Structure 1
Amino acid sequence: MLERLHEAGLRADHCYMAGIASIGLSFLSWACSRKLESAGIDRADRWGIFIGEWAPTFISLGNALRTYEK
Protein backbone atom coordinates (compact mmCIF):
# COMPACT_ATOMS: atom_id res chain seq x y z
CA MET A 1 0.00 0.00 0.00
CA LEU A 2 2.80 2.42 0.86
CA GLU A 3 4.47 1.70 -2.45
CA ARG A 4 1.29 2.60 -4.34
CA LEU A 5 0.82 5.81 -2.36
CA HIS A 6 4.45 6.76 -2.99
CA GLU A 7 4.13 6.00 -6.70
CA ALA A 8 1.00 8.16 -6.81
CA GLY A 9 3.08 11.09 -5.59
CA LEU A 10 2.16 11.15 -1.90
CA ARG A 11 5.15 11.99 0.28
CA ALA A 12 5.66 12.01 4.04
CA ASP A 13 5.76 15.80 4.09
CA HIS A 14 2.31 15.93 2.50
CA CYS A 15 0.93 13.74 5.27
CA TYR A 16 2.58 15.84 7.97
CA MET A 17 1.10 19.00 6.48
CA ALA A 18 -2.33 17.34 6.32
CA GLY A 19 -2.01 16.38 10.00
CA ILE A 20 -1.18 19.93 11.01
CA ALA A 21 -3.97 21.30 8.81
CA SER A 22 -6.48 18.91 10.37
CA ILE A 23 -5.64 20.25 13.83
CA GLY A 24 -6.38 23.79 12.63
CA LEU A 25 -9.48 22.63 10.79
CA SER A 26 -10.66 20.86 13.94
CA PHE A 27 -10.53 24.08 15.92
CA LEU A 28 -12.10 26.06 13.08
CA SER A 29 -14.97 23.60 12.64
CA TRP A 30 -15.59 23.59 16.39
CA ALA A 31 -15.68 27.39 16.53
CA CYS A 32 -17.89 27.74 13.44
CA SER A 33 -20.30 25.04 14.56
CA ARG A 34 -20.55 26.63 17.97
CA LYS A 35 -21.36 30.07 16.54
CA LEU A 36 -23.35 29.28 13.40
CA GLU A 37 -25.47 26.27 14.38
CA SER A 38 -28.22 26.28 16.93
CA ALA A 39 -27.57 22.63 17.84
CA GLY A 40 -25.50 23.56 20.88
CA ILE A 41 -22.04 22.95 22.24
CA ASP A 42 -22.37 19.14 22.12
CA ARG A 43 -22.60 19.13 18.35
CA ALA A 44 -19.71 21.58 18.04
CA ASP A 45 -17.63 19.30 20.27
CA ARG A 46 -18.46 16.29 18.09
CA TRP A 47 -17.38 18.13 14.92
CA GLY A 48 -14.11 19.20 16.53
CA ILE A 49 -13.35 15.70 17.80
CA PHE A 50 -14.32 14.05 14.50
CA ILE A 51 -11.94 16.17 12.46
CA GLY A 52 -9.29 16.14 15.20
CA GLU A 53 -9.08 12.36 14.92
CA TRP A 54 -7.66 12.71 11.41
CA ALA A 55 -4.37 14.22 12.63
CA PRO A 56 -2.89 11.05 14.19
CA THR A 57 -3.84 9.08 11.08
CA PHE A 58 -2.08 11.51 8.75
CA ILE A 59 0.99 11.72 10.99
CA SER A 60 1.21 7.93 11.28
CA LEU A 61 0.93 7.59 7.54
CA GLY A 62 3.65 10.23 7.20
CA ASN A 63 5.91 8.24 9.51
CA ALA A 64 5.31 5.08 7.49
CA LEU A 65 6.05 6.87 4.24
CA ARG A 66 9.17 8.48 5.73
CA THR A 67 10.43 4.99 6.61
CA TYR A 68 9.59 3.76 3.11
CA GLU A 69 11.34 6.74 1.52
CA LYS A 70 14.61 5.93 3.33
Structure 2
Amino acid sequence: VGDGNTDHYCWQRPEDMTTSRHAYKVDAEHPGSDLAGETAAAMAAASMVFKKFNPHYSHLLLHHAQE
Protein backbone atom coordinates (compact mmCIF):
# COMPACT_ATOMS: atom_id res chain seq x y z
CA VAL A 1 0.00 0.00 0.00
CA GLY A 2 1.47 3.34 -0.97
CA ASP A 3 0.97 6.94 0.10
CA GLY A 4 -1.74 8.52 -2.06
CA ASN A 5 -0.52 12.09 -1.54
CA THR A 6 3.01 11.25 -2.67
CA ASP A 7 1.88 8.93 -5.45
CA HIS A 8 -0.46 11.52 -6.99
CA TYR A 9 1.97 14.44 -6.63
CA CYS A 10 4.17 13.10 -9.41
CA TRP A 11 2.54 12.39 -12.79
CA GLN A 12 5.01 10.25 -14.69
CA ARG A 13 5.58 6.60 -15.46
CA PRO A 14 6.58 4.54 -12.40
CA GLU A 15 9.60 3.32 -14.35
CA ASP A 16 10.90 6.91 -14.51
CA MET A 17 10.37 7.80 -10.84
CA THR A 18 13.60 8.19 -8.90
CA THR A 19 12.25 9.51 -5.60
CA SER A 20 12.02 7.26 -2.58
CA ARG A 21 8.54 6.01 -1.79
CA HIS A 22 7.09 4.72 1.46
CA ALA A 23 5.28 1.40 1.45
CA TYR A 24 3.18 -0.16 4.17
CA LYS A 25 2.60 -3.82 4.92
CA VAL A 26 -0.64 -5.41 6.08
CA ASP A 27 -0.06 -8.04 8.78
CA ALA A 28 -1.31 -9.05 12.24
CA GLU A 29 0.21 -5.95 13.85
CA HIS A 30 -0.98 -3.59 11.09
CA PRO A 31 -4.48 -4.78 10.14
CA GLY A 32 -6.01 -4.11 6.77
CA SER A 33 -8.61 -6.81 6.20
CA ASP A 34 -10.71 -4.39 4.14
CA LEU A 35 -7.87 -3.90 1.67
CA ALA A 36 -7.08 -7.62 1.58
CA GLY A 37 -10.75 -8.41 0.95
CA GLU A 38 -11.05 -5.88 -1.87
CA THR A 39 -7.89 -7.25 -3.48
CA ALA A 40 -9.18 -10.82 -3.27
CA ALA A 41 -12.52 -9.74 -4.77
CA ALA A 42 -10.77 -7.96 -7.65
CA MET A 43 -8.66 -11.04 -8.37
CA ALA A 44 -11.72 -13.30 -8.32
CA ALA A 45 -13.60 -10.96 -10.67
CA ALA A 46 -10.61 -10.76 -13.01
CA SER A 47 -10.42 -14.56 -13.07
CA MET A 48 -13.95 -14.60 -14.50
CA VAL A 49 -12.94 -12.15 -17.23
CA PHE A 50 -9.87 -14.17 -18.27
CA LYS A 51 -11.48 -17.62 -17.96
CA LYS A 52 -12.42 -17.91 -21.65
CA PHE A 53 -9.29 -16.33 -23.14
CA ASN A 54 -6.51 -17.39 -20.76
CA PRO A 55 -7.60 -20.28 -18.50
CA HIS A 56 -4.17 -20.66 -16.90
CA TYR A 57 -4.05 -17.00 -15.80
CA SER A 58 -7.68 -17.22 -14.69
CA HIS A 59 -6.86 -20.20 -12.47
CA LEU A 60 -3.83 -18.39 -11.04
CA LEU A 61 -5.93 -15.33 -10.16
CA LEU A 62 -8.61 -17.44 -8.50
CA HIS A 63 -6.00 -19.43 -6.57
CA HIS A 64 -4.43 -16.26 -5.14
CA ALA A 65 -7.85 -14.76 -4.40
CA GLN A 66 -8.67 -17.82 -2.28
CA GLU A 67 -5.35 -17.83 -0.39
Q: TM-score per shorter chain, which class?
A: 0.3 to 0.5
Larger relative contact order (Cα-Cα within 8 Å, sequence gap ≥ 6): 1
Higher helix proportion (structure 1 or 2): 1
